[in-house]
Homo-oligomer: A and B are copies of this chain.
């Protein structure tokens, strides 16, 4: 159809075509004030005729702004993350930024590699999703970065963060189970090094302390997320001498493993075992009976984090409040909890 375009138009071509200087074209493209209507019109005509599109590498080089946000996430296939990113991305799009994504798969090498990419590409900001707090090389590299950052459900020294109130959520659901009479509640909460897990555990402990109950460390299973791991964890717990009477588990992937384990041990919930899951899912909603779940607004979290980051980018280096912002969790009561059986 169209001939192969020999070369893309540059700002120079536009200036020549319109018979004006390059600087005027630049001013028009950037919407600067003090431009006569005629000049504006003439330049825009040339821009359209030549289909001029500024080369953003050149812009970035000169203006020291890449209009780019880095986004580091451990596992993109986890819907918890992708939903937050979805929300954040929309805010960035609206502000004219493009998102650069990297999945680190919990590997420290990938984290530092991405930090390096962030530096080389002079990205304007960085969004950090939950990742291992134990990765110290990473926080070191980050400290030298001198770049607006916002962390999501992650603790990074000197970096403001947005978090769901996992501690409060853990407290609420544990209190609920204790209130039902449960004295032995298993907690399958994902990698211990992740902030949401450790916060949840803190809430769980607090609820037990309040009720003057001891917590059996065996009941805490801070394993990597995964349905088969949940399965074997639960089987193991069930074979022990002193079974738990309730289980708190992550909703994504793990809940399925837990349900399998119960079923293959001939147990039913809520009668033989109470169940609460963290993060509402189709499975929790539509299992029979429905499974009570702790939930929070992922899309909103992504958006809030994005806007804080944008503010910091625009506001320059103000050493804003670093205090984390907490978003509430909400407990959805369904029918997966009951009083423990009399022993």
Contact = CB atoms under 8 A, between A and B. Distances in A.
B53 A57 contact: no
B256 A282 contact: yes
- Determine which residue in A76, A116, A256, A287 has the highest number of CB atoms from chain B within 10 A of its CB, and name it: A76
A102 B89 contact: yes
Contacts of A55: 61, 120, 122
A315 interface: no
A5 to B, nearest CB: 7
A100 interface: yes
A117 B98 contact: yes
Contacts of A119: 53
Copies of this chain, tallied across the complex: 2
Contacts of A76: 82-83, 85-86, 89
Which of A5, A54, A117, A255 is the most central at the interface, judged by chain B CB atoms within 10 Å of its CB?
A: A117
A342 interface: no
Contact of A282 (B66, B122, B253): B253
Given A53-B120, A99-B101, A256-B282, 20 more contacts: A53-B116, A55-B122, A57-B60, A57-B61, A71-B101, A76-B85, A77-B299, A85-B101, A89-B103, A98-B117, A98-B121, A253-B282, A255-B282, A256-B285, A259-B286, A260-B286, A282-B282, A282-B283, A283-B287, A287-B287
